[in-house]
Amino acid sequence: MLRDITLGQYYRTDSVIHRLDPRVKLVATFVFIMSLFLVKNFWGYLIAGVFLAVCIKLSNVPPKFIFRGMKTIFFLLLLTMVFNLFLTPGKELVSFWKFTITYEGLKMASMMAVRLVFLITGSSIMTLTTTPNNLTDGMESVLGPLKKLHVPVHEISMMMSIALRFIPILLEETDKIMKAQMARGADFESGSLINRAKSLVPLLVPLFISAFRRAMDLAMAMEARCYRGGDGRTKMKPLIYKKRDRIAYGVLYSYLLVAIVVGRILFR
């Protein structure tokens, strides 16, 4: 049934990575992505690869789940590689008809590919090991300083968590409306793509109306329970750094240092 769908792609198991504070994981993902753009040579990428492999191993998530995310970017990956391979000027390696593959092109293409694969893998580890709920909490906390710039951080994270709560409910509702309309002869499954898209319009109108009605009800229920924005609010589950989180930060920053030294300075 629709109510059993999992949101995001959280993989339920227990591991060191799962237990880390979501803030650590957010910062780590950001730092890792940064490091990918800072290193310039093979040795740097090797270090990044080893770091990633260790994280995957520690996370207890079967590798096939991690690489499933790769399918979605396969075409992007292919396109980037083809363009880089054929369009980079430099020393000629192979040449046929109008195309030439250069030494620089080959290097560029493989670098881009590795970069993309690492980037996607790195961020999937975060989403696979953190519940959406935890992730929103972490975001609110990491983005906290932006409050000074009048960015409504608390409101954004509240909106995200409410959206997460209501996605299954609205999906179920869509299902109900679809069945009700199918019972009266509506056809959602045959015809051309355009026809099928058109048949969704009468589905969306009642869905929107009901979503707005729900939003109004929910706003009233929240007000009735004394909700008045983020000021003066306490947390039932506050985020507190533990020893393992501090160690993780230490490991992370030493990785960044080593990657930069090896990838940029030691080997040019």
Binding site for another protein (CB under 8 A): 3, 132-133, 161-162, 164-165, 168-169, 214, 217-218, 220-228, 232-238
Closest separation between CB of residue 74 and another protein, Å? Answer: 32
Residue number, 179 or 233, with CB nearest to another protein: 233
Residue number, 233 or 242, with CB nearest to another protein: 233
DSSP string, 196-219: HHHHTHHHHHHHHHHHHHHHHHHH
Can you tell me the distance from the alpha carbon of 211 to that of 70, in angstroms, rounded to the nearest whole number? 34
Closest separation between CB of residue 214 and another protein, Å? Answer: 5
CB 95 within 8 A of CB 101: yes
Closest separation between CB of residue 179 and another protein, Å? Answer: 18
Per-residue tokens: 160: 């995200």
Element at 92 (helix H, strand E): strand 92-96
Closest separation between CB of residue 169 and another protein, Å? Answer: 6
Torsions phi, psi for 95 (to 5 deg): -145, 130
Residue number, 233 or 246, with CB nearest to another protein: 233
Residue number, 54 or 159, with CB nearest to another protein: 159
Can you tell me the distance from the alpha carbon of 129 to that of 146, in angstroms, rounded to the nearest whole number? 26
Residues 6+ apart with CB under 8 A from 38: 44, 259, 260, 263, 264
Can you tell me the distance from the alpha carbon of 250 to that of 244, in angstroms, rounded to the nearest whole number? 10
Closest separation between CB of residue 229 and another protein, Å? Answer: 9
Per-residue tokens: 3: 């109510």
Residue number, 147 or 198, with CB nearest to another protein: 147
Can you tell me the distance from the alpha carbon of 225 to that of 43, in angstroms, rounded to the nearest whole number? 56
Residue number, 19 or 165, with CB nearest to another protein: 165
Residues 6+ apart with CB under 8 A from 170: 207, 211
Closest separation between CB of residue 221 and another protein, Å? Answer: 4
Can you tell me the distance from the alpha carbon of 155 to that of 163, in angstroms, rounded to the nearest whole number? 12
Residue number, 187 or 223, with CB nearest to another protein: 223
Closest separation between CB of residue 242 and another protein, Å? Answer: 16
